[in-house]
Amino acid sequence: MIAERPTIDPETKKLWRIAGSTGAVGIEVAVAIAIGYFGGHWLDGKLHTGPWLTIVGFAAGIGAAIKALVRVTRAYQKKNQDEDRASAAPKPTEAPAGHPAKEKDRRQD
């Protein structure tokens, strides 16, 4: 007999999704810096340019990491703004006074 899986609370699921994407950004930052540094170091070895391409690669990696952080921060801000707008929007329970449905009800009285 197969046991049923317990359902996951939507709030818990949301928190795990945030944690996963945050961890992915951390890995992306580390990989961007490492690729820049080691790529520059490799090019220094091939071109005999001293530490200059290592420094340039490291700086490029930091730039790519900052760009990733800005991208994720903007996405979080946009998502939060959209959620705030959705929760703050009044839910229509009744048609406004000038609405045709109201006018129709008044005519029937």
Q: Residue 5: is its pLDDT beyond 80?
A: no
Question: Is residue 4 included in any domain, yes or no?
Answer: no
Domain count, the chain: 1
For position 42, what pLDDT does the model report? 97
Q: pLDDT tens-digit profile of 29-65?
A: 999 999 999 999 999 999 999 899 999 999 999 999 9
Question: Is residue 90 included in any domain, yes or no?
Answer: no
For position 99, what pLDDT does the model report? 55
H or E element, residue 87:
helix 52-88
Structure letter (DSSP) for residue 81 = H
Question: Is residue 14 included in any domain, yes or no?
Answer: no
For position 80, what pLDDT does the model report? 86
H or E element, residue 30:
helix 10-47
Which residues constitute the domain of residue 36? 22-79
Question: Model pTM greater than 0.85?
Answer: no
Confidence of residue 27 (pLDDT cuts 50, 70, 90): very high
For position 38, what pLDDT does the model report? 97
Q: pLDDT tens-digit profile of 88-103?
A: 776 666 555 555 555 5
Q: pLDDT tens-digit profile of 77-90?
A: 998 888 888 887 76
**Long-range CB contacts for residues 32-35, cutoff 8 Å, separation at least 24:** 32/61, 32/62, 32/64, 32/65, 32/68, 33/58, 33/61, 33/62, 33/64, 33/65, 34/61, 35/61
